[in-house]
Amino acid sequence: MMAEDRNRDGSDAEPEEDDNEFEFIEPADPRHNEMIRRIIGDLSNASVAKQVGIGGATGWCAGYISVKVGKAAAALLGGSLLLLQIADHFGYVQINWRQVRRGVNTARRRIEDQANRQFPGLAQNANQFFRNNIYLAGGFAGGFLLGLAS
């Protein structure tokens, strides 16, 4: 057997056929959801100032973290795409863009189907939450924008 016929780990075993399957993480333990619902339920009865303050603080944290993580992810993704384009230009790799597009569309459809099965009423529940906690949601949105700006 030639070296090219071996797997990456050096074994001669046949590679698994189902490399296109995605692993989905199960939702959190229901006890955690109950704790979150109890805290949020308490906030819905809190004063408007407290709701806006807590929403703004959590939104700012989320926005700030998004900027930090987003910059690193954008640099990594942009750099790898640049290297891939350079390698394609010099003939080191040949990219079948039609196959890439087809693979991305297949993955997108699978992810959407799986998400719809896992979380069927997520959009409706989120909409109901924002309607019931408009001040908290508004504070979060404002804080998130401030976090993005800082």
Mean pLDDT score of the chain, rounded to an integer? 79
- Phi, psi for residue 91 in degrees, rounded to 5: 85, 15
At 5, the amino acid letter reads D
CB 53 within 8 A of CB 47: no
- 118: CB partners within 8 A, 6+ apart: 24, 27
- Phi, psi for residue 33 in degrees, rounded to 5: -60, -40
- 85-89 long-range Cβ contacts below 8 angstroms, 24+ apart: none
- 133: CB partners within 8 A, 6+ apart: 40, 43, 44, 51
Could you write out the three-class secondary structure of 36-68?
A: HHHHHHHHHCCCHHHHHHHHHHHHHHHHHHHHH
CB 147 within 8 A of CB 62: yes
- 94: CB partners within 8 A, 6+ apart: 88
| pLDDT value at 13 more than 60 | no
Confidence grade of residue 96 (pLDDT, cut at 50, 70, 90): confident
Q: What is the mean pLDDT of residues 19-41?
A: 64
| Domain spans, the chain | 50-150
pTM: 0.51
Q: What is the mean pLDDT of residues 92-106?
A: 90
At 30, the amino acid letter reads P
Confidence grade of residue 1 (pLDDT, cut at 50, 70, 90): very low
| pLDDT value at 131 more than 60 | yes
Of residues 101 and 54, the one with the higher pLDDT is 101
| pLDDT value at 59 more than 70 | yes
